[in-house]
Amino acid sequence: MFSISQAVVSVILGGGAGSRLYPLTAARSKPAVPIAGKYRLVDIPISNCINSRINRIFVLTQFNSASLNKHIKNTYHFSAFSTGFVDILAAEQTPDNPGWYQGTADAVRQSLRHIANNDYEYVLILSGDQLYQMDFEQMIAAHRDKGADISIATIPVGDRDAPEFGILKADEESYITSFIEKPKKDILPDWVSDTGDEMRRQGRNYLASMGIYIFNRSVLDHLLKDEYAEATDFGKEIMPNSINKYKVVSYQYDGYWTDIGNIYSFFEANLALTDDIPPFNLFDKAKTVYTRSRMLPPGKISGTTLEKTVISEGVLVFASRIERSVLGIRCRIGHGTTVVNSYIMGNDYYETLLEMEANAAKGIPKIGIGERCYIKNAIIDKNCRVGNDVRINGGAHLENTDHTLYTVKDGIVVVKKGAILPDGFVI
């Protein structure tokens, strides 16, 4: 009898340098970036695996990986009677591989000698920087039913998004017949697929690769070790070259999915959580998102008007108004402050009263956000000290810039981790 927990291992790619998410990735990897106030991005694929009964999970890390490694170590502990684990495979230099990971395929290739110590039939390869809720059990079942060698999860996209993805075409049996990486707009009409009536009505006529793959064990070993031993990337090299040689199947996913590729997409994905019915549902008990249990006290809110706000544990909020915003763990906001369209990541610790007094004597603001501030269209990274009467008014009127204390991208002001904004500071 087939058992998904015994037949499948999952490999989550920790991502590259994450330069498009700078400054959030200045001191952490993309999968370690805090999301929704209390989670990390890597919690999403790990939770999807656990909810799909896949409990043997490897996370491949390289750039700025210390905080990611710490989070995984402190979060995912399975029972001693379980075969489940979440193991970190950090990039390492060996006699055979003196260099670091050169791409997605190279990362998996260098890690195979560790993964191969397990008994499995299929390898599920995931990205560590995507926001979605997907039942991999259904994808595995479709892969087995088709007798596929490789399955690629695909999502219908429209004209605007198609040039940003790998686009493929599939026949009536869902077998992929052709693949192109980031096609130019003038050739898009040649790549229209039958995505279903509902998707067509939304103008989503192209099948984009989600960067989620299933490989049969023997096929993956052969591709990485023998056939394409020098290939570094799945999307650019291995997938296009495998279509005519192997049974490569498209598994169409019609739910919510977003690639957290840049500051704008990250910002929008977080603020979308404040909608009445958010596209990413944190409140579905069948699709629990797991994260570190911190044993924080309950939040405390006084004299504040709240409108479409997501609030994490341990907050201390005395603001006048908070609207369409996400407040992270241990977030502190002073009296008379207004926060609109913003993500306040919160803090890693509480200051004691003695520490507050000592810092005040030195002219250093309390950790968190001070009094009578106005913050709009901003991301305030962790452990920032925003003084009193600070005004941050993000929007299209601001030019992209990188300051020692903050960065502006696409009109969004990102205050850097641990930054100190003095009283009366204006952006």
Q: Regarding the domain with residue range 4-272, which homologous superfamily does it belong to in the CATH classification? A: Spore Coat Polysaccharide Biosynthesis Protein SpsA; Chain A (3.90.550.10)
Output 316 or 89, whichever has higher pLDDT.
316
pLDDT of residue 103: 79
pLDDT of residue 390: 97
> pLDDT tens across 358-393, in order?
999 999 999 999 999 999 999 999 999 999 999 999
For all residues of the chain together, what is the average pLDDT? 91
Classify the phi-psi angles of 326: left when phi > 0, otherwise alpha if psi is within -120 to 50, otherwise beta.
Answer: beta
Q: In this structure, which long-range contacts are made by residues 109-118, counting pairs with CB atoms below 8 Å and at least 24 apart in sequence? A: 109/224, 109/225, 109/229, 111/11, 111/58, 111/60, 112/220, 112/221, 112/224, 112/225, 114/58, 114/87, 114/89, 115/9, 115/11, 115/58, 115/89, 116/221, 118/9, 118/56
- Specify the pairing of strand 176-181 against strand 166-170: antiparallel
- Of the chain, the percentage scoring pLDDT greater than 70 comes to 97
Angstrom distance (rounded) from CA 243 to CA 250: 11
CATH class as words, domain 294-421: mainly beta
pLDDT of residue 91: 74
Closest to 130 measured CA to CA, from 14, 274, 11: 14
CA separation, residue 9 to residues 54, 74, 87, 181, 226 (Å): 7, 21, 11, 27, 21
Considering 193-207, 247-261, 268-282, 323-337, the range whose residues carry the highest mean pLDDT is 323-337
DSSP string, 85-100: EEEEEE----SS--S-
Angle CA 400–405–409, to nearest 5: 20
User: Global pTM?
Assistant: 0.93
Please determine, for residue 341, whether its predicted confidence score (pLDDT) is greater than 90: yes
Q: What is the mean pLDDT of residues 275-298?
A: 91
Q: Which two tokens stand for residue 148?
A: 């596929």
Residues paired with residue 415 on neighbouring β-strands, in sequence order: 380, 406
> pLDDT tens across 201-258, in order?
999 999 999 999 999 999 999 999 888 888 888 888 888 889 889 999 999 999 999 9
pLDDT of residue 286: 86
Q: Give percent helix, percent strand, percent coil of the chain, each to the nearest 5.
A: 25, 30, 45
Q: What is the mean pLDDT of residues 287-314?
A: 95
Please determine, for residue 96, whether its predicted confidence score (pLDDT) is greater than 90: no
pLDDT of residue 98: 67
Please determine, for residue 354, whether its predicted confidence score (pLDDT) is greater than 80: yes
pLDDT of residue 190: 87
Domain boundaries, the chain: 4-272, 294-421
pLDDT of residue 233: 83
pLDDT of residue 204: 92
Range with the poorest average pLDDT among 18-22, 210-214, 271-275: 18-22
Q: Which two tokens stand for residue 62?
A: 């390289």
With bands split at pLDDT 50, 70 and 90, how would you rate the model's confidence at 97? low
Q: What is the mean pLDDT of residues 134-155?
A: 95
Range with the poorest average pLDDT among 33-37, 40-44, 258-262, 325-329: 258-262
Write out the H or E segment, with its range, that includes residue 373.
none
Q: What is the mean pLDDT of residues 47-54?
A: 96
CB 206 within 8 A of CB 193: yes
pLDDT of residue 145: 94
Q: Strand locations in 217-337, DSSP E?
A: 248-252, 257-259, 300-301, 305-311, 316-317, 321-327, 332-333
Q: What is the mean pLDDT of residues 7-29?
A: 87
Q: What is the mean pLDDT of residues 161-166?
A: 88
Q: Which two tokens stand for residue 46?
A: 């790990």
Q: In this structure, which long-range contacts are made by residues 404-411, counting pairs with CB atoms below 8 Å and at least 24 apart in sequence? A: 407/22, 407/23, 409/262, 409/263, 409/264, 410/262, 410/263, 410/264, 411/377
Angstrom distance (rounded) from CA 378 to CA 387: 16
